Amino acid sequence: MCGRYSVAVSVKDKNNKASKVARLLEEFQAPARYNAAPSQLLPVVTADEPEKLQLFSWGLLPNWANDRSQTNKPINARAETLLDKPSFRGLVSRRRCLVPADGFYEWRKTAAGKVPYRFLLKDEALFSFAGLWDEWTDPETGEVTESFTIITTEANGLVRPTHDRMPVILSPDAEAAWLNVTNGSNMLRDLLQPFPASEMKSYPVSALVNSTAHDAPQLTVPVAEQGNLFG
């Protein structure tokens, strides 16, 4: 699964003119998030408005929900069963989105307890998760709530020792293909695959990432390099 991630634009990303998500994050002046968590408003790019960055709530509130307080708001959707579940099948054909990120966290079980690890690309560049979104309208007030879920797939060789699932990471070419809602199920099977482990890296980070009360750049630093960063 994917329950925490980070998204911040670096100098390297700003200089990468080919990165669409970096350009949109910069234009929108989206605040950096180093410990993004469910229920928070986080940046997405939808197939409907591919040149606009929007802030949606993480945790899908489907349009058919009875009320906003519905407890089942999936933060993840399994790639293998997207077309089997009514709650996701309709969204695949019309409401796809990109979820900008620069890394995600998973917790590895050890003899000393669970240790948080950060997973990112080897060049530490921004990328996008494949996502789905929906909007729910309050029948009494007309207020619209827009929300999203991140698609997951089986873990690659790098992630597997920590967790058996990982978010679907899209290459720049795959981003455009994912946002093209005319691409059918055969194309989707090719897109929603584990990202190559050879193009990623990971390292343990501070246990402070366990709490959403902490949201600082130091959370993304390898624990071996942190020293007294948090005072």
Domains of the chain: 5-213 (3.90.1680.10)
For 113: left if phi > 0, alpha if psi spans -120 to 50, otherwise beta; the answer is left
User: Is 106 an active-site residue?
Assistant: yes
Candidate list 2, 97, 146, 175, residue with the active-site label: 2
β pairing state of 76-78 and 41-46: unpaired
Helices and strands (DSSP H and E) totals, the chain: 5, 13
Dihedral sign for Cα atoms in the order 79, 80, 86, 90 = positive
User: pLDDT tens-digit profile of 47-60?
Assistant: 999 999 999 999 99
Give which of 59, 46, 39 is closest to 100, Cα–Cα.
46
For 183: left if phi > 0, alpha if psi spans -120 to 50, otherwise beta; the answer is beta
**Is residue 95 within 8 Å of 105, Cβ to Cβ?**
no
Amino acid identity, position 78: R
User: Is 146 an active-site residue?
Assistant: no
Query: Residue 213: helix, strand or coil by DSSP?
Result: coil
- The tens-digit pLDDT sequence of the chain (231 residues) is 799 999 999 867 777 766 788 899 999 998 999 999 999 999 999 999 999 999 999 999 998 888 777 768 999 999 999 988 887 888 998 899 999 999 999 999 999 899 999 999 999 999 999 999 999 998 889 899 999 999 999 999 999 999 999 999 998 889 999 999 888 777 888 899 999 999 999 999 999 999 999 999 999 999 988 765 444
Give which of 215, 226, 230 is closest to 31, Cα–Cα.
215
Candidate list 49, 51, 80, 106, residue with the active-site label: 106
Query: Residue 39: helix, strand or coil by DSSP?
Result: coil
User: pLDDT tens-digit profile of 120-155?
Assistant: 999 999 999 999 999 999 888 989 999 999 999 999
